[in-house]
Amino acid sequence: QQQVKQSPQSLIVQKGGISIINCAYENTAFDYFPWYQQFPGKGPALLIAIRPDVSEKKEGRFTISFNKSAKQFSLHIMDSQPGDSATYFCAASGTSGSRLTFGEGTQLTVNP
């Protein structure tokens, strides 16, 4: 079964610190890697996404780093803020694109 493994399960960071969430995948046919942010009681919202032809993508305080040879990608949140406290999901899809495979999620808490 195609899997995406996400770690850590939970993460506590102080305000202003860097939050790092990691994901690893098995299927080399995956070629699209989005990250979603979900607040309690709400639907997930797309945060940032990357394709394997680049090693890094940055949008504001959020950066995806991608290591194709290791089949790993990570989300870095710089200058973490209490408002970033949410659950973050990594995901991956292949060339057909019709299905996303999600990681298990990381609950991030940013303390003031």
Partner 1 sequence: DGGITQSPKYLFRKEGQNVTLSCEQNLNHDAMYWYRQDPGQGLRLIYYSQIVNDFQKGDIAEGYSVSREKKESFPLTVTSAQKNPTAFYLCASRRGASGRGETQYFGPGTRLLVL
- Interface with partner 1 by CB under 8 A: which residues? 6, 31-32, 34, 36, 41-46, 49, 51, 89, 93, 95-100, 102-105, 107
DSSP state letter for 29: T
Q: How far is the CB of 55 from partner 1 (least distance, A)?
A: 17
If the CB atoms of residues 41 and 60 are measured against partner 1, the closer one turns out to be 41
Please count the residues of the chain: 112
Q: How far is the CB of 37 from partner 1 (least distance, A)?
A: 11
If the CB atoms of residues 17 and 32 are measured against partner 1, the closer one turns out to be 32
Listed residue (68, 60, 78, 70) closest to 21, CA to CA: 78
Q: Is the peptide bond before 52 cis (omega within 30 degrees of 0)?
A: no
Q: How far is the CB of 78 from partner 1 (least distance, A)?
A: 23
If the CB atoms of residues 40 and 60 are measured against partner 1, the closer one turns out to be 40
Rounded CA gap, 73 and 104, in Å? 14
Task: Kindly calculate the radius of gyration of the chain based on its CA atoms and give it in whole angstroms.
Answer: 13
